[in-house]
Amino acid sequence: MNAKKLKQTVLTDIKRDIKSEMDSYQQELNKGYLKSNIFLNYVPVIISLIFVIFIIYYLVIGMH
């Protein structure tokens, strides 16, 4: 009886540890995803802004 209770306690502790590890790992993944998502959203905006600046620059140079 005592060994069965001890086994159950150990299994419960292991499950709890694994769950907390998985939760912290998932939080790290979510942080990394948000950072990369923000970065990937801004890349096309920056590239298009550079193209617009070059187009305006060449139009101004062409008018002179």
Residue 23 confidence (pLDDT): 93
Residue-range domain boundaries for the chain: 1-64
- Residues 13-64: tens digit of each pLDDT: 999 999 999 999 999 988 888 888 888 888 889 999 999 999 999 999 887 6
Question: Looking at residue 9, what is its pLDDT?
Answer: 94
Note the helical H segments in 1-64: 2-63
- Using CA atoms, how far apart are residues 10 and 30, in angstroms rounded to an integer? 30
Output the pLDDT for position 64.
66
Rounded CA gap, 3 and 46, in Å? Answer: 64
Is the pTM higher than 0.75? The answer reads no
